[in-house]
Amino acid sequence: MDNINSINWKKNLETRAGSIGINLDNHLIDQIAIFASELIDSNKKVNLTAITDAEEIAEKHILDSLIPSKYIPANASVIDLGTGGGFPGIPLKIFMPSLSFSLVDSSRKKINFLKYVIRILNLQTIFAYQFRVEELSIHPDFAGQFDVVISRAFTSLERFLVLAAPLIKPEGFIIAMKGKEVQKELDALDAAKTGINVYKINDRKFKLQVEKYRLPVSGDDRSLVIARNHFL
Ligand code: SAH
């Protein structure tokens, strides 16, 4: 197994990212490597990740986090709910520096880790907040403020849509990063279906688009569910 700071680990990350159409230059790779080493280091004290193998971190945390980048416009304001150790938020921000980012988690220890990482990487226009997501919809700094609300492994699709909807601008959208169980989550929404790919949840209508992808090393299936306000 290659160590995260080794040339091999960095080279592999660059090659695999390239294979899925994501070009990482040396500066980005270095920033990602610093983040990943700090994650492993802090994970001994704070529970940030169940995955600790360097290769798996590259694929399942870093590359997976970068997949949504092609759906996110430059300069967008993005909020990552239940970000944990910073996924997908930190890799996305490193890769797309023009984004402004809010990272939210209820765990103070995780937020302290993220504040530390933001500081040592000297990342700008990204802030980590300790909040319960349920509190955000009535908070003036968060309600209706975002172009994109994203999360991975936070909660069910339905609950995420309910929590995320009050945070987006009218033309904003929501991205749920899901595994291969996505069909089950869509089936669970069946009762709310009111048209082709249109669902009525909590008096709001959403149009859903599902994008499937496969991780390049393990071949694991993943998907993105992209939800937009449906005004008709
Ligand atoms: N998104 C990360 C972490 C997923 S684990 C990843 O994909 O690796 C889920 C995270 O959500 C945990 O860090 C937990 O602290 C946080 N969380 C759970 N319920 C929450 C809530 N109600 N409000 C804010 N954060 C919450």
DSSP structure string for 76-139: -EEEEET-TTTTTHHHHHHH-TT-EEEEEES-HHHHHHHHHHHHHTT--SEEEEE--GGGGGG-
Band of pLDDT at residue 2, cut at 50, 70 and 90: low
pLDDT of residue 224: 98
pLDDT in tens, 214-226: 999 999 999 999 9
- Answer yes or no: are the C-beta atoms of 190 and 201 closer than 8 Å: no
Domain count, the chain: 1
129 CB burial (10 A radius; 0-12, 13-18, 19+): middle
Atom of ligand 1 nearest to the CA of 105: 25
pLDDT in tens, 60-107: 999 999 999 999 999 999 999 999 999 999 999 999 999 999 999 999
Mean pLDDT, all residues of the chain: 96
Among the listed residues 61, 68, 8, 52, the one whose alpha carbon sits nearest the alpha carbon of residue 32: 61
Distance from the alpha carbon of residue 87 to the mean position of ligand 1, in angstroms: 10
Query: Does 160 map to a domain?
Result: yes
Q: How far is CA 200 from CA 133, 190, 203, 205, 208, in A?
A: 21, 10, 6, 4, 11
Query: Does 56 map to a domain?
Result: no
**Residue 201: which H helix or E strand, with range?**
strand 198-201
Domain CATH number, residue 198: 3.40.50.150
pTM of the entire predicted model: 0.97
Query: Does 13 map to a domain?
Result: no
Distance from the alpha carbon of residue 103 to the mean position of ligand 1, in angstroms: 10
- Answer yes or no: are the C-beta atoms of 151 and 202 closer than 8 Å: no
- Answer yes or no: are the C-beta atoms of 200 and 191 closer than 8 Å: no
**Residue 178: which H helix or E strand, with range?**
strand 168-178
pLDDT in tens, 43-58: 999 999 999 999 999 9
Distance from the alpha carbon of residue 108 to the mean position of ligand 1, in angstroms: 11
pLDDT of residue 5: 82
Distance from the alpha carbon of residue 195 to the mean position of ligand 1, in angstroms: 31
Distance from the alpha carbon of residue 97 to the mean position of ligand 1, in angstroms: 23
Query: Does 129 map to a domain?
Result: yes
Ligand 1 binding site (Cβ under 6 Å of any ligand atom): 82-85, 87, 104-107, 110, 132-134, 152-154
The domain in which residue 70 lies consists of 66-229
Rounded to the nearest angstrom, the gap between the alpha carbon of residue 171 and the centroid of all alpha carbons in its chain is: 20
Query: Does 30 map to a domain?
Result: no
Atom of ligand 1 nearest to the CA of 131: 24
Minimum CA distance residue for ligand 1 atom 4: 153
pLDDT in tens, 6-44: 999 999 999 999 999 999 999 999 999 999 999 999 999
Query: Does 16 map to a domain?
Result: no
Query: Does 102 map to a domain?
Result: yes
Query: Does 70 map to a domain?
Result: yes
Does residue 17 sit in helix, strand or coil? helix
